[in-house]
Amino acid sequence: MKTILLAGFGAMGQSIFDQLRDDPRIGRWLVLERAERADDARRKLGRHGQVVQSVDGLETRPDFAVECAGHEVLGTLVPQLLEQGIDTIVASVGALALPGMIERLDAACQAGRAQLTLVPGALAGVDALAAARESGLASVHYTGRKPPGSWRGTAAASLCDLEHLAEATVFFEGTAREAAATFPQNANVAAMVGLAGLGLDQTRVRLIADPAAGGNTHTISARGAFGRLEVMVEAAAFASNPKTSALAGMSIVRAVRNRLNAIVI
């Protein structure tokens, strides 16, 4: 049975644990959480594992790790895990848009002979986009459309009047790197599209606040020698965080199951 280190036990981390805790192939969980939230995490984790505040000196070495704690953790904890040879599944893909982050993570992978897995989150078609890159891509566009409430608390609030929108409003157009850096809570998907396709600086992104939107809509459009790709997902919002699509958590669960399964899809 496997031991999994789960970095972050907020709403997303707890959802992942709840969906996987009865999997007989997982023998133990190590949950990395801040001291002020440790007691709550221990109560929810119960008999399934241990809560730790640091990966230094772990009594049990995890078989692999899962990060769902945010961009800051990716920049500090994840390189440490990789350098120790611990394969890591990462949810905070948008952090890879920060200057030098890809190079830093790649160096850590090389040093520890470990593998970093990026989950597609709420996106569909990432596998096809990455495959199409092999024959050359001419253009890649990502459009994110969400209700105004899903953009509250982000830079969008200073770019349009989220409280009084009467129609769909485009408040950002730029590169995937710019989108991921400016809207870290909403644009992990933009970074994922960039990394899978033409790159962060060649992928074009448009973000929309739409009062008529029924959910968070993600659209990828690409052209190249392979032909034409058009993929759209209208995802329900995560129950406790409207800025995140529920499918994002499901994507992490799938990545964990792929580490456990003999046959991988």
Q: Which residues are CB-neighbours of 43 under 8 A, at least 6 positions away?
A: none
Instruction: Tell me if residue 218 is catalytic.
Output: yes
Tell me the pLDDT tens digit for each residue of 82-96: 999 999 999 999 899
- In tens, the pLDDT along 96-125 reads 998 899 999 999 999 999 999 999 988 999
- Quote the CA–CA distance of 38 and 162 in Å, as a whole number: 36
Say what the pLDDT of residue 74 is: 86
Q: Does the pLDDT of residue 185 top 90, yes or no?
A: no
Angle between helices 246-260 and 11-20 (to 10 degrees): 40
Domains of the chain: 2-118 (3.40.50.720), 126-244 (3.30.360.10)
Say which of 48, 71, 164, 218 is annotated catalytic.
218
On the question of pLDDT at 242 being above 70, the answer is no
